[in-house]
Structure 1
Amino acid sequence: MRRVLRFFRNNGLTIAFGTAFLLTLLGQAIAGQAQFNNRLAAEELQQVSFGGYLLTSDFAVDVTENWQSEYLQFFLYIFGTVWLLQRGSPESKKLHKAGLESDEEQKVGAYAQPDSPRWAYAGGIRQAWYSRSLGTVMCTLFLLSWLTQSVAGVAAYNEEQLRGLQPPISWPAYLTSADFWVRTLQNWQSELLAVGSMAIFSVYLRQRGSPESKPVGTAHTTTGIEG
């Protein structure tokens, strides 16, 4: 029992957000099925079961368009904060640390510590990849979810076209359509707004005990210090 409690304490952030994610995904699926069936009923078409709705392109495109924007946010933030700075923000590195930093600062190669990851000791392509692995994975997940959104999106779009007795369109044609870019850009702008707001708000505002905030008594001009 003590081991289980320790596991939950040590992984509370991941467990809490993972559970919340699954609950909200379930809620989206339930609400989405109701909305989808209301639309089918209005068109005097046969309604779908909950399991059937989970396999529809309508559900897939709604989910993946949110996922791709979230992974884009983190990809841009991870790579952007290597070079871009914000004076006074805990979300920024210290003003003199813009760039990739030295091997000593990053504890790689000859400067690796006894408990450093194995590839921090390695040289060549392994260290180069591992040094950029977080951003690379986020970028890959963004591209894959965006690709999935486009495939599910054209299927959902063509279902609407066929129900309205309109001709379907090809996947390349859908990539240039207003439907695809409205779905995409409405998510991108909200993620960029959130990141930019956090960077500047954290200069002047505080949240006691949070690592996303500076300590309450820290000067507004202090940069790269987390509470």
Structure 2
Amino acid sequence: MNRAARFARDNGLSLVFGAGFLVTLFCQALAGRAEYNGEMRAIGAEPITLGRYLTSADFAVAVTENWQSEYLQFFLYLFGTVWLLQRGSPESKELHRAGTESDEDQRVGAHATPDSPRWAAAGGLRRTLYSRSLGMWMCAVFLGSWYAQSVSGAAAYGEARLRDLESPLPWSAYLLEPDFWSRTLQNWQSELLAIGSMAIFSVYLRQRGSPESKPVGASHESTGVAG
């Protein structure tokens, strides 16, 4: 196996989903521009180019409102599954392992192995931060994309008000508008539904060969095992 084939095999999950993301983002831009230009023609305004649409508030808010909800899902899932359990689900830890677990279980400090990350073997603040770095990163991206959604949403909402000959609202006032919370909550509820559904459906249903599923022949009561 040559180097390129090995790289593709070793990184297939991120490569396929990364490529899929770029393709769907481009298609979203095409569809969004077509919809936006349809609205512009309806009010007698000039349509815009794809390049201009990509830098518009309309496109920015459409993208960021989805990003923030997805990263909220990851953040809640990462921190929630430290303590919350679901009997029979591969998405849950085993029932006796709730909590942050021992240093030995986590292979940190004196229990680190030669190939452990350097900060796992360190002590004090470095190890504390590294021990929670994934959840902290997901939280940071969520908050950043939520802020970006609020700013771009305020701009898009202001443009719509101007077309109706109304004054745009300041960002702080937009945060109290139903438009902002409608965009936000419609995404949050779908992400919470997806997390809960995956946790409970995986108790009884199987996907052979997937680490997100239990082995096909595993008992419904088996918890924290992957196929």
TM-score, with length taken from structure 1: 0.99
Distance 2:225 2:47 in 1: 55
After superposition, the C-alpha distances for 1:174-222 in whole angstroms (9 at most, x for unaligned) are 0011000000000000000001000000000000000000000000000
Cα-to-partner distance string for 1:77-109 (whole Å, 9 max, x where unaligned): 000000000000000000000000000000000
The corresponding residue for 1:10 is 10
Matched length: 227
1:139-178 residue pairs with structure 2 within 5 A? 139-178=139-178
C-alpha RMSD of matched pairs (Å): 0.6
CA distance, structure 2, for counterparts of residue 34 and residue 45 of structure 1: 14
Alignment partner, residue 34 of structure 1: 34
Residue 215 of structure 1: SS of its match in structure 2? coil
The aligned residue for residue 58 of structure 1 is 58
Q: Which runs of 5+ in 2 are unaligned?
A: none
Find the counterpart in structure 2 of residue 121 from structure 1: 121
Question: Which amino acid in 2 is paired with 1:53?
Answer: Y
How many angstroms apart in 1 are the aligned matches of 2:91 and 2:196?
10
Counterpart position of 1:185:
185
Q: Please say if 1:105 is aligned against 2:95.
A: no
Partner of 1:203: 203
Task: Give the deviation of 1:117 after TM superposition.
Answer: 0.4
Q: Distance in 2 between matches of 1:55 and 1:209?
A: 42
Deviation at 1:168, TM superposition (A): 1.1
Aligned-residue sequence identity (percent) comes to 67
Tell me the alpha carbon deviations over residues 86-137 of structure 1, each in whole angstroms, 9 at most, x when there is no partner: 0000000000000000000000000001110010110000000000000000
Aligned residue type for 1:76: L
The CA deviation at 1:167 is 1.5
Structure 1 match to 2:133: 133
Q: Distance in 1 between matches of 2:201 and 2:177?
A: 36
CA distance in 2, matches of 1:176, 1:53: 26
Q: CA deviation at 1:46?
A: 1.1
Which letter does structure 1 place at the counterpart of 2:169? I
Structure 1: tracts of 5 or more residues without a match = none
Alignment of 1:220 onto 2:209: no
1:86 aligns with 2:86: yes
Q: State the alpha-carbon separation in 2 of the partners of residues 225 and 9 from structure 1.
A: 24
TM-score between the two structures when normalised by the length of structure 2: 0.99
Give the aligned partner of residue 46 of structure 1: 46
